């Protein structure tokens, strides 16, 4: 399995606290038709920290059924407990998803050796599922080092990393020092274009929920060597990049999708609706982009 292109970290639509399956199907169909390479299910954008284990596996299975092998389905199965991450990875593998994304253990602040052993355990205690590292130091309080990623990339089933540090020097080193078939994906929409410029392979995106065709066009433009078009698209999206950071993800993106008529605005506590001040600002950004 090769990771390249645009992957969208999808939201989880709810209705009265339950997964809104019909809404989810309609929403995924629109993304599939946009030309993206795949989706990431139950990530931060999908409110993974607030949903139950049963809801995780239900979403893995449902997503795979809806997609029906038209694009790749990546399941987020990360946890700060190694035992829990191994369990959830095994459950994801049973559902037939294409790969598993696993976050650097959060809150406990492990050493680099602890991080390596955590990921090695996930690799050694599961069967055939391809594995992806997820580095997001702004949420985990720990930054996985290049040397640790290089060690992990030597393990057979680690195929890539979602790198959300926005450190392009680090990205350059990841590309240079990992094996050729190891993919480095952006975890930040605003640094997608710079990441491609230093040899990165794609993105796991939030803005892709709202402007998937534009993001795919940006990627394709870079691949064709048409940097001017890529810059034009990136510039067009800049106000939305900023708007999606008004409050913690996925609050702004779920509000935007609600305004676009795709999902309800319902979130799992402790997440709450986008504040009224930011609602007005988001509405204006969406209007300026002719999205509402």
- Catalytic positions are 134, 162
Q: Phi/psi class of residue 261: alpha, beta or left (left: φ > 0; alpha: ψ in -120 to 50)?
A: left
CA distance 121 to 31: 34
Cα 243 to Cα 237, 270, 274, 283, distances in angstroms: 10, 21, 11, 10
Find the angle CA(37)-CA(42)-CA(47) to the nearest 5 degrees.
130
H runs (alpha helix) in the chain? 21-32, 53-67, 82-94, 112-124, 137-140, 146-153, 168-177, 192-197, 212-223, 227-243, 251-259, 276-288
Cα radius of gyration rounded to whole Å, the chain: 18
Which DSSP letter does residue 106 get?
P
List all residues 6 or more positions away from 128 whose beta carbon is below 8 Å from its beta carbon: 93, 157
Residue 145 is encoded by which pair of tokens? 């080092």
């Amino acid at each position: 399995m090769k990771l390249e292109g645009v992957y969208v970290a999808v939201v989880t639509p709810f209705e009265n606290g339950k997964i809104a399956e019909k809404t989810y199907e309609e929403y995924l169909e629109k993304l599939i038709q946009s030309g993206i390479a795949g989706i990431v299910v139950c990530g931060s954008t999908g409110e993974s920290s607030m949903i139950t284990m049963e809801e995780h596996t239900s979403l893995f299975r449902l997503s795979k059924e809806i997609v029906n092998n038209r694009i790749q389905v990546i399941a987020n199965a990360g946890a700060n407990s190694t035992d829990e991450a191994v369990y959830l990875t095994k459950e994801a593998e049973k559902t037939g998803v294409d790969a598993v994304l696993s976050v650097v253990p959060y809150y406990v602040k492990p050493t680099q050796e602890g991080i390596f052993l955590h990921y090695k355990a996930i690799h050694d205690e599961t069967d055939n599922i391809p594995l992806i590292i997820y580095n997001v130091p702004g949420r985990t309080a720990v930054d996985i080092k290049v040397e640790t990623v290089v060690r992990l990339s030597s393990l057979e089933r680690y195929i890539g990393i979602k790198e959300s540090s926005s450190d392009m020097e680090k990205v350059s080193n990841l590309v240079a020092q990992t094996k050729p078939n190891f993919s480095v994906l952006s975890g930040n929409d605003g640094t997608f274009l710079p990441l491609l410029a230093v040899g990165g392979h794609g993105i796991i995106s939030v803005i892709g929920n709202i402007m998937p065709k534009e993001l795919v066009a940006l990627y394709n433009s870079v691949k064709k060597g048409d940097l001017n078009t890529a810059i034009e698209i990136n510039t067009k999206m800049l106000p939305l990049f900023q708007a999606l950071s008004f409050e913690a993800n996925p609050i702004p993106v779920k509000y935007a999708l609600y305004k676009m008529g795709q999902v309800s605005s319902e979130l799992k506590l402790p997440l709450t609706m986008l504040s009224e001040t930011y609602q007005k600002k988001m509405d204006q950004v969406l209007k300026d982009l002719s999205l509402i």
